[in-house]
């Protein structure tokens, strides 16, 4: 499939609306408080009761007894859901693996053991303190380092668990220059602003949930399987989401318990998960241990590249496959990647912004810098020398577009890379040691089948409907831009409705796939609508032009709304891609440059300036895309310097389970961030020739900071996050 068509036949290429920096059309709703989030649908389901989740006090074992007597007598209490009255829950077919309700077995700390439902939130919370639960604690496995040896191969969601090209072991052993190092990344969590929240209401055997959920269609299917009801009887609505980053990809305790609570008390029930429960109750990014081996000739060309990763999860969970980006990033004739996953009794690990690439690049890009030093090459030039011309894992399979070299060269020039002193610890400004670092960036350009429906009324208003969601990333706006461009009208004539399971099925917001997949579906639906409009107006020519809210052919010009004078015109279509992903290696690429300062006396690290250059297809909305990239870069600062869920390996829980103990970057931590988008259209990607960009920004930031730290102080920290306890005693003396 190739969407390389001239502007006369592909109206999206006119670029009158698409490609323009556009403020979010949902922005006024959000800044005035009029955007309705999951917990705020008060009028849609009146007479709501409140649910409060009780989390398990142990990580592994059994519930021996639940005493509800005092809690049930407490003021305002309507009922309490436990495993004893919930009915059957779960199915082996569901994609939800997090156990939403313990009982009698407990499989992780803060697993939900009960939901107290009361007239008010305060009454539910007070009554929850009166529930008495007795446990029988069992021994568990909570330490990845201890469980690493013997961990089995694990199949990631993209590709096999092990890949081999050529003779890696032989080529590595024969290489004149070798690197063999281990790196580790910690458990990390999503830390989104909006908690997991759901309002559930039953109408007979029909269930409606207003919820904070990224994947609507998956949520409907999973809820049906979890509760044992028909998915045709379930409606999910997620109009606005206050951040998710993958943590709201699937239904979790709030969704299921709200539904069970509403069924128990016969009233709508709303549940917002307490912040302290979110860290252990929901999913997170697994810690990883990685071994990277690189062999190269004296000229710096890589001859052997091996990347092995260990992570953990629950049974049937997916691995955090850190070696994934190595499959597409750099050349090397002899290759090995291998993913192993230990089974631990910790909460389930799952998707967090740019899964696989984020932890994998935190190791690979540091190893590339270390290897560049060994062979005596500049880090930028070493990466360029080893650029892959076609897919390294699939010889002969081309990239749809690959501008990694252009990203590196453009970034080096813009950032002033030539002013970098390659000698570690050589640049001083008073008490500050200053360093510069670089890293490549990559994130898969995934597209999924997606559907959309468009409607034209007599006023010329175009309404777009799809179950795609918007996490605050700007989906409403790029969907509107696509429809406006296709129908030749202005943005204020487009209405976008998202996040409702009654709408055509889209991909949902995950994997950097939502924007490209959804706009392609809107494109397809608009093509159908254009055809119908042209016919209604008496045009039967492919050269008909839609512009300025009118339909024109030659000297004939008719208002767009005239076509719907006798009733709305509705068109629906779906975009699919066949074997496109098998014929092309489809990726987005970038290059991160960072300058940091390290205080010689305190060891404090301050990020001074950052630049990212991106090659990610046509940029539909540069304003929103920049926002996504700087957000990703900010998350990269957190990954490099502070974010770490600390595991108590005795009792099996994350100790710092709140936003006071789990540190994330704040405004004072972030300097000026510059973003450059290279000119790029990818005719193999979608009809819009675009790719996703939301997750690319995080994948190269952390290693560019790590490399800058090494350049500043000459200490290589391979265990993230880079906290001062790991290098303070090795700081150069202040002279």
**HEC-encoded secondary structure of 418-468:** HHCCCCCCCCEECCEEEEEEEEEEEEECCCCCEEEEEEECCCCCEEEEECC
3-state secondary structure of 516: helix
Cross-strand bridge partners of residue 137: 61
What is the edge-to-edge ordering of all strands in the sheet holding 428-429?
A: 428-429, 432-444, 587-599, 605-615, 672-677
Element spanning 587, H or E: strand 587-599
Burial label for 134, CB within 10 Å (0-12, 13-18, 19+), is exposed
pLDDT of residue 5: 47
pLDDT of residue 90: 77
Closest alpha carbon to 582 in 442, 450, 404, 400: 400
Alpha carbons 153 and 258: distance in angstroms, whole number: 37
Alpha carbons 219 and 225: distance in angstroms, whole number: 10
Cβ pair 352, 188 in contact under 8 A = yes
Closest alpha carbon to 510 in 313, 688, 351: 351
Alpha carbons 264 and 19: distance in angstroms, whole number: 51
Q: What is the chain's mean pLDDT, rounded?
A: 95
Instruction: State phi, psi for 477 to the nearest 5 degrees.
Output: -75, -45
Element spanning 126, H or E: helix 121-128
Which residue among 221, 320, 674, 695 is the active-site one? 695
pLDDT of residue 543: 84
Using CA atoms, how far residue 197 sits from 229, 388, 421, in Å, is 21, 45, 51
Alpha carbons 68 and 63: distance in angstroms, whole number: 13
3-state secondary structure of 417: helix
Helices 357-375 and 622-641 pack at an angle, to 10 degrees, of: 70
Cross-strand bridge partners of residue 198: 211, 271
3-state secondary structure of 94: coil
Length in residues, the chain: 735
- Does this model's pTM top 0.85? My answer is yes
Cβ pair 512, 588 in contact under 8 A = yes
pLDDT of residue 94: 52
pLDDT of residue 158: 80
pLDDT of residue 540: 82
Closest alpha carbon to 118 in 91, 81, 82, 166: 81
| Contacting residues for 254 by C-beta, under 8 A, at least 6 apart | 53, 196, 197, 198, 211, 271, 272, 273
Alpha carbons 177 and 381: distance in angstroms, whole number: 17
Cβ pair 140, 345 in contact under 8 A = yes
pLDDT of residue 3: 55
Alpha carbons 558 and 556: distance in angstroms, whole number: 7
Closest alpha carbon to 292 in 276, 308, 316, 271: 308
Element spanning 273, H or E: none
Q: Which residues of the chain have pLDDT under 50?
A: 5-8, 95-97
Buried b (16+ CB within 10 A) or exposed e, 367-395: bbbbbbbebebbbbebbbbbebeebbbbe
Burial label for 567, CB within 10 Å (0-12, 13-18, 19+), is exposed
576 is catalytic: no
Helices 475-487 and 514-536 pack at an angle, to 10 degrees, of: 30
Alpha carbons 108 and 653: distance in angstroms, whole number: 8
pLDDT of residue 274: 97
């Amino acid at each position: 499939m190739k969407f390389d068509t001239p502007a006369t036949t592909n109206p999206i290429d006119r670029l009158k609306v698409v490609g323009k920096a556009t403020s979010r059309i949902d922005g006024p709703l959000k800044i005035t408080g009029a955007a309705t989030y999951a917990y705020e649908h008060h009028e849609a389901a009146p007479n709501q009761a409140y649910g409060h989740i009780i989390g398990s006090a142990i990580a592994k074992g059994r519930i021996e007894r639940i005493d509800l007597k005092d809690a049930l007598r407490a003021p305002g209490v309507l009922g309490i859901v436990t495993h004893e009255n919930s009915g059957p829950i779960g199915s082996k077919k569901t994609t939800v693996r997090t156990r939403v309700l313990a009982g009698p077995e407990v499989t992780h700390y803060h697993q939900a053991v009960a939901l107290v439902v009361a007239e008010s939130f305060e009454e539910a919370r007070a009554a929850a303190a009166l529930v008495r639960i007795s446990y029988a604690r069992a021994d568990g496995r909570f330490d990845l380092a201890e469980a690493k040896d013997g961990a089995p191969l694990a199949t990631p969601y993209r590709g096999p668990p092990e890949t081999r090209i050529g003779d890696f072991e032989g080529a590595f052993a024969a290489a004149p220059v070798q690197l063999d190092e281990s790196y580790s990344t910690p458990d990390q969590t999503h830390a989104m602003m909006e908690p997991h929240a759901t309002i559930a209401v039953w109408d007979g055997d029909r269930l409606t949930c207003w919820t904070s959920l990224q994947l609507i269609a998956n949520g409907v299917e999973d809820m049906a399987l979890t509760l044992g009801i028909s998915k045709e009887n379930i409606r999910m609505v997620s109009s606005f989401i206050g951040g998710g980053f993958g943590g709201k990809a699937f239904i979790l305790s709030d969704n299921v318990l709200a539904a069970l609570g509403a069924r128990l008390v016969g009233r709508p029930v709303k549940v917002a998960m307490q912040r302290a429960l979110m860290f252990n109750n929901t999913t997170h990014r697994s810690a990883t241990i990685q071994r990277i081996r690189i062999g190269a000739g004296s000229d710096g060309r890589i001859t052997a590249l091996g990347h092995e990763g260990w992570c953990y999860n629950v049974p049937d969970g997916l691995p955090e496959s850190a070696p994934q980006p190595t499959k597409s990033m750099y050349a090397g004739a002899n290759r090995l990647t291998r993913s192993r996953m230990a089974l631990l009794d910790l909460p389930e690990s799952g998707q967090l912004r740019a899964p696989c690439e984020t932890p994998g690049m935190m190791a690979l890009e540091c190893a590339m810098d270390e290897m560049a030093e060994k062979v005596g090459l500049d880090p930028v030039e070493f990466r360029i020398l080893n650029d892959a011309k076609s897919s390294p894992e699939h010889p002969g399979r081309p990239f749809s577009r690959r501008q990694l070299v252009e990203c590196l060269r453009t970034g080096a020039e813009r950032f002033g890379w030539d002013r970098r002193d390659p000698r570690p610890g050589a640049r001083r400004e008073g008490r500050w040691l200053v360093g510069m670092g670089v890293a490549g960036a990559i994130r898969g350009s995934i597209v999924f089948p997606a559907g959309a429906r468009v409607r034209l009324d007599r006023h010329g208003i175009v309404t777009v409907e799809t179950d795609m969601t918007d996490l605050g990333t700007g989906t409403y706006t790029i969907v509107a831009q696509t429809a406006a461009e296709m129908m030749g009208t202005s943005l204020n004539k487009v209405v976008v409705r998202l996040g409702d399971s009654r709408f055509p099925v889209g991909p949902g917001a995950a994997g950097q796939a939502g924007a490209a997949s959804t706009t392609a579906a809107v494109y397809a639906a608009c093509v159908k609508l254009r055809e119908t409009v042209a016919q209604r107006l008496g045009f039967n020519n492919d050269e008909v032009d839609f512009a300025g809210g009118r339909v024109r052919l030659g000297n004939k010009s008719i208002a767009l709304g005239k076509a719907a004078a006798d009733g709305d015109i509705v068109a629906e279509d779906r975009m699919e891609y066949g074997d496109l992903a098998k014929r092309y290696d489809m990726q987005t690429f970038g290059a991160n440059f960072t300058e940091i300062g390290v205080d010689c006396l305190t060891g404090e690290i301050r990020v001074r300036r950052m630049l990212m250059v991106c090659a990610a297809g046509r940029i539909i909305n540069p304003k929103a895309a920049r926002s996504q990239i700087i957000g990703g870069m900010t998350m990269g600062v957190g990954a490099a310097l502070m974010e770490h869920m600390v595991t108590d390996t005795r009792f099996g829980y994350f100790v710092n389970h709140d936003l006071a103990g789990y540190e994330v970057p704040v405004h004072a931590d972030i300097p000026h961030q510059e973003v450059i988008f290279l000119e790029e259209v990818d005719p193999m990607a979608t009809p819009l020739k675009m790719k996703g960009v939301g997750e690319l920004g995080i994948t190269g930031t952390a290693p560019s900071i790590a490399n800058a730290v090494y350049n500043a102080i000459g200490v290589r920290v391979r265990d993230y996050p880079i906290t001062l306890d790991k290098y303070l005693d090795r700081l150069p003396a202040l002279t």
